[in-house]
Amino acid sequence: MTLSKRVILTPRIFAALASPERIRVLRALEERNMTGTEVAAKLALSKSTAFKELSRLEEAELVARIEGNRKWVYYRLTEIARRILHPEDVVMTFAAEAEGSSGPADLRDLANALERGPQGTP
């Protein structure tokens, strides 16, 4: 088996993935492209919360806006987000020394959080 896909996990991506709400938004966008209002309705979030979470995901380059000759702005998953959601055959590289990161402690915190699971339990 050849691992041909690669994702560099930056502190910005870790921060975006630290929120269960943002993970839910990514999973919703996995089904189809949606407007912020559609995301809010699907996940029972306020519109302001949905747009805040979409903005944070966009900053981390996990979602992208689809703008054009439409009245509404749609959001879609980026290839990076798709690879993170489906890590089969993906090489993930940790970039601990980027953008104000405190270094390896960030990776230890992430590893501990992943071990605890989504509800803080192993």
Residue 17 backbone phi and psi in degrees, to 5: -80, -5
Its pTM surpasses 0.75: no
| Domain 5-116 class, CATH top level | mainly alpha
Segments making up each domain of the chain, as ranges: 5-116
Per-residue pLDDT tens listing for the chain (122 residues): 454 688 888 889 989 999 999 999 999 999 999 999 999 999 999 999 999 999 999 999 999 999 877 788 999 999 999 998 888 877 877 777 544 444 445 555 655 555 665 554 44
Three-point CA angle 78, 83, 86, nearest 5°:
125
**Helices 36-43 and 20-31, axial angle in degrees (round to 10):** 110
